[in-house]
Structure 1
């Protein structure tokens, strides 16, 4: 049987439902090096320029936070001289502030300044290349450290300490999902599902009253065992109502250099790709921005430390670990509560 996760509390829009004439509409296109899609309920009141409004939100994120666009606000900050202060646009400052907060809480397992290490291992804008030498890794580690970035919330400024390369790719897509969701809510849309590059946020219900069901990604790699139960796990579906879902996994992207295969997820604390046995971590959270960064942090922490850290903070998280017998699931109490 399939497993289902449902929110512990439903939104007023989900309880209210829709008028009989409501219909399901779908929009989508490319963005941020991936794709976006929005499924929404139109009862005749959705604005005609809704797609243009969504694209404007996405373009704003790219223009402020892209490391692939030299003219973005973030790229200009990364290229700025040491000791210089920079007033940031509200969205960029908000995301950077959140990124640094999660970095501090996670002990640096998530770190938005990991960019130099991402690049040297072949996962940055320059693309794949040979395994870096240890001396080069250590040289780039000197540029990494979330605590090096100073913020001035009053003036909405950030200080470039010199050589810092902020990479918000582990949180910006999540923020973009939240931004589009807020735009839809302001437009009066009572039911929608927003997806960008696999990160999702849902609100309300579909025209027929059904939830926005989303199937959790399951990595390939053999039988999936639930704790001590060695039977294969069925598909897991989550009903998203005022909930976001984000998954971080080493099965998505990797590099093989002839000496082995390594994950695209870099541990900022060691300077090397993770090798902790985790195949994926899925987080459900009221904000996609937080779910995005937290999934990365938990992946870096590993199955034991990550599970303990997430459980203490009341997070709903699912860990899929590779073992000699295949894949094994563990989950936090709040994740399990959503299946009861």
Structure 2
């Protein structure tokens, strides 16, 4: 049976009168992006404006671009302070808040571990000659780990030496928020925006319906008859899963999500965690943190924080088991 997830509040703004939906698409951050907009500002190249928002995120926060602000910080000498752009500082500060609240389950300072396991820009797991790290190599990286320090009044960050920031667990969600805020800034309140599968919606379609989207399911499993569709009306969705990037070695399946506390890829049986929130940046970061924590600890944290979260875990017979937080269950109709 198909289930429906609804927002708690519906906007009282008038419905878009007679507007048509305009579609905009492009590529960024190694994936695709799209925007569906009712109407749109006259005299503005909206696609160009949206692309510029994504280009800003890449220029500041990409760990794939050596010339990004993040790339320069990662190469900076030990013991130096660096003023960060406002957007970079905002995302890094929020990522560190999630790191602290989750007991280190989602850590923006774990870039060296991500790289070690072949999920960074070099020595890729999907390239010829890749060899998974040994336990000794993992422990050596953990032993050298240090954390960034922030000075909010000056928007500066301290590089202790060798620290590798990686904002891939939050930057895509932030990029989705940038698209939404760009549209709202230009007077477009009715939209659905998406970057690499993470989404945020506002307002309504011309027919008065909200933006209906289906929750993402693990790609290696067939869709069932218990799918959930969400009315993205003032809401955002992000999903973290073990099926997007992974490899197999003698120890089994190695998903791209690394537990920063142990230095190892997660091995909890979680197939995916979806978080629904007002901000896609928050949904993105929390979905990763809850994935690393696992169902039991993840649900406990979701309840403490009031997060709307859905966990899918793999069972021995190839099926999925669902668990949801009370905030998520309360939105189901």
Superposition TM-score tier, normalisation by shorter sequence: over 0.9
What per-residue deviation string (whole Å, max 9, x for no partner) do you get for residues 27-47 of structure 1?
Answer: 0111010010000100x6444
1:136 Cα deviation (Å)?
1.1
- Preserved contact between residue 46 and residue 188 of structure 1 (Cα < 8 Å): no
CA contact (8 A) 1:46 1:187 kept: no
Residue 64 of structure 2 corresponds to which residue in structure 1? 68
CA contact (8 A) 1:46 1:189 kept: no
Q: Deviations over 1:54-90 (max 9, x none)?
A: 1111111010001111110000000001110000000
Q: Specify the alignment match of 2:12 in structure 1.
A: 12
The yes-or-no answer on 1:98 pairing with 2:108 is: no
What does 1:268-287 align with in structure 2 at a 5 Å threshold? 268-287=260-279
| Equivalent residue, structure 1, for 2:245 | 253
Offset at 1:124? 0.8
Tell me by how many angstroms 1:261 deviates.
Answer: 2.1
Q: Give 3-state SS (helix, strand or coil) of 1:9's partner.
A: coil
Unaligned regions of 5+ residues in structure 1, if any?
Answer: 225-231
SS of the residue aligned with 1:125? coil
- C-alpha spacing 1:46/1:311, structure 2 compared with 1 (3 Å): farther
Structure 2 counterpart SS, 1:154: helix
Indicate the SS of the match to 2:121.
coil
For the residues of structure 1 that align with 2:77 and 2:173, how far apart are their CA atoms? 29
Residues 1:125 and 2:121 are matched in the alignment: yes
Structure 1 CA distance for aligned equivalents of residues 62 and 254 of structure 2: 25
2:307 counterpart residue number: 315
The verdict on how the C-alpha distance between 1:286 and 1:46 changes in structure 2, with shifts beyond 3 A counting, is: farther
Q: Distance in 2 between matches of 1:300 and 1:206?
A: 36
Alpha-carbon contact 2:220-2:243 (below 8 Å) kept:
no
The equivalences for 1:317-332 within 5 A come to 317-325=309-317, 326-332=319-325
For the residues of structure 1 that align with 2:144 and 2:230, how far apart are their CA atoms? 40
Aligned pairs (5 A) from 1:12-31: 12-13=12-13, 16-20=14-18, 22-31=19-28
Distance change (3 Å), C-alpha of 1:46 and 1:296:
farther
Taking a change above 3 Å as real, the CA distance of residues 209 and 91 of structure 1, as seen in their structure-2 partners, is same
Q: Do structure 1's residue 337 and structure 2's residue 333 form an aligned pair? A: no
Normalised by the length of structure 1, the TM-score is: 0.93
CA distance in 2, matches of 1:77, 1:220: 35
SS at match of 1:12: coil
Tell me the distance in 1 between the aligned counterparts of 2:293 and 2:183: 35
Q: How far apart are the structure 1 equivalents of 2:49 and 2:222?
A: 44
1:270-311 CA deviation, whole Å, 9 max, x = no partner?
000010111100000010001001000000000111011101
Report the Cα offset of residue 258 of structure 1: 4.8
Q: 2:282 aligns with which of 290, 293, 305?
A: 290
Instruction: Name the CA shift for 1:180/1:143 in 2 (closer, same or farther; >3 Å).
Output: farther
Say how many residue pairs are matched: 327
Q: Report the Cα offset of residue 193 of structure 1.
A: 0.5
TM alignment of 1:1-340, pairs within 5 A? 1-13=1-13, 16-20=14-18, 22-42=19-39, 45-126=41-122, 127-128=124-125, 129-145=130-146, 148-219=147-218, 233-325=225-317, 326-340=319-333
Write the distance in 1 (CA, Å) between the matches of 2:114 and 2:55: 24
Kept after mapping to 2: 8 A contact 1:321/1:328: yes
The residue matched to 1:55 in structure 2 has which SS? helix
Measure the CA separation in 2 of the matches of 1:11 and 1:183: 19
Structure 1's 166 and 222: CA in aligned 2 closer, same or farther, altered over 3 A?
Answer: closer
Deviation of 1:257 after TM superposition, in Å, equals 2.9
TM-score by length of 2: 0.95
